[in-house]
Structures are given as structure tokens and as C-alpha cells.
Chains A and B, each alone.
Chain A
């Protein structure tokens, strides 16, 4: 739904959601930092850190950026971005692996 024909009530609901999301983000931030001081092995550390970051990112995108209530073309475009972003992330692999003999 687009935000034009929103009643004051709807907005109030939104506001409550925003505060919940805020709380969640704060907790997750605490988690990331806390986990860091546990000094996990590197693989685990990377996994946790990125997982938590992704969750936080998703929360921001879905609720603050209203992605959850969007529809239509924008998702196709975001999907496209996801693919090309993956291609970009594939790039370090390219330079590193499989340069013959090196």
C-alpha cells in the first residue's frame, strides 16, 4: 500500500513498530559488540557479525524504508541489484583464485 490514503490511526501503528524496531536494533548492536569480545575463531566471528548485520539491515530496509509495504517493479530492480552485487563480490575470487601458476 502506498502512504497516501493513510489515516492517523495507521500512522500511530507505524510509530509503535518503529519503536520496537529501534529496540531490536539496539539489542543487536549490543550482541555484535559482545560477541566480538568473546574472540571467537575468525570464521565464526565473520559468520556472526555478518549475520547480525544482515538482520539489522533487513529491519531498516523493511520498516524504516517501508519496503515491507512496497510492491511491484521495485522488487525486480532490487533483485537485479542483488545479482550484480553478487557479481561484484565474486570479483576478489576472480583475482585471487586460478591465476595460473601463482
Chain B
């Protein structure tokens, strides 16, 4: 499979580039959704920085991990080009592990959100430890707070007769305010910090979720080549190197998307 004079690429590589082109449009649509929703967000419904809600250090760590995986990926290809299959497979394995690390970190990020609750109140009320009156209180459910139930038709949490909340420290630091008991009648809406919480978190979960799926997809392919690679390489090294190059192109793109997701979702 010689590269074609017009594109300078063999079929597989050209195909991957085209596929990536469509991926650009896919994530492009999501980014423009993000901008649109943020610009049009009603007063106070969108956090000033993603960091007010999200965990920047973890994400920064993940950025490093993913960039690292990109390098190991391209290294794998380089060693195959140097006809050193063993090293190639080794770097491939490293890529696989780094990808796994990324997902594990993301898992912890997600679960943290699902155990963190926000109570949206019908009317402003004063809460000890916060200055002025607030319309929402966020925090963790106390052990003696009644178990939450979801409405069958909407899947949203039903307002219980009361909740006992351990509020977060007020914005700008300070220590944990005392536990508050909120009456069901005062509650307009109760949600964990999952996608239902707000359009910001909805966007966050959709974009990072889709990106996560891309990581999983990549891991499946890489895993496949880890398993079959050395046999494949032994009878057609060039072709195998090309397959790895194509996988790499996809993998670098996934990295590239994250390079934009990180500042946009977490830092701005």
C-alpha cells in the first residue's frame, strides 16, 4: 500500500484524517452549544469559573497524563519504524495504562459530584455561616437525613418532607457552617451535582462524557493491538506500523480535544 501521489497518504491514513474532520465538527457543535448556553445563561445560573464547582488539580493532572499518553503513542510508532517491535509494544502498553489512569481519575471526579447536593429554595432565607440570604444551599447529606426518592416519570429527586444538610463553606473560604434542617415546603428543587443540576454541569458531563467514550474506544483498539501486535508485526511490520500510526492520529486528536476542554470547562 504505497501512498497516493495526490494525498501523499495510504488509504487508511487518509481515511482517519477524514474521520477526524467529522470529529472536529462533532466537538465543534458541542463547543458552540457551550458558548451559546453560557452567553444566554440567566443571571446567576452559570458559575463564574468552572473551578467554583470542578476540581482543577485533578483535571490538570489528567491533562499531563493524556499528553504523556500521546508521547508514548508516537514513541511506539517510532520504535516500530526502527524495527524494534518489543519497545514499540512496551510504549503501546504505557499508552494503555496512562489512558486507564485518566479514566480512573475521571471516575473519582464524577462520583464526588454525585454525592454532593444542591437545594434550590422557594424563597430567600438566611442560613447560619453565610452572609445575607441565599436561594440555594449546597453541601452533603447528613447521615440522619431521610433517604431521597426519585419521581418515576421525570427521574428527578422528589422533595422529601425535610433534608438535613452539612453545608459547604461559603464562597471565599471559611469553615463549615453548622448542619441545617430544611423543610420540604421550602424546597423548590433538589439535585445532586450531576447533569440535572444546571446547564453548566449538563454541558460538562456531556462533553467530558463523550470525550471519555472516545478514550474507551481508543483503549479497545490499543488493547487489540497489544494482544495481536507482535504476531501481526512479525509478518508485516510496515503494515503494522501504519496501523499504529492511524491509531496514533486518532489518539492525538482525543488528546487535542482535552487540551481545549480543560481550560474551557474548568478554568473559564
Contacts and interface: CB of A to CB of B under 8 A. Distances in A.
Does chain A bind chain B? yes
Interface of A: 2-4, 6, 8, 11-12, 14-15, 18-19, 21-22, 25-26, 29, 32-33, 36, 42, 45-46, 49-50, 52-53, 56-57, 60-61, 64-65, 70-74, 77-78, 80-81, 84-85, 88-89, 91-92, 95-96
A95 B249 CA distance: 35
B9 A60 contact: no
Interface string B1-33: 011001111100010011001001100110110
Interface stretch (B62-70, B111-119, B154-162): B62-70
Contact of A64 (B39, B70, B241): B70
A19 B36 CA distance: 38
Contacts, number: 130
Interface in B226-255: 238, 241, 245, 248-249, 252-253, 255
A53 B267 CA distance: 12
B84 to A, nearest CB: 9
A52 B260 CA distance: 9
B158 to A, nearest CB: 34
A26 B65 CA distance: 10
Interface stretch (B71-79, B129-137, B142-150, B190-198): B71-79
A100 to B, nearest CB: 16
B191 to A, nearest CB: 26
Given A18-B78, A60-B252, A88-B32, A4 B2 contact: yes
A57 B259 contact: yes
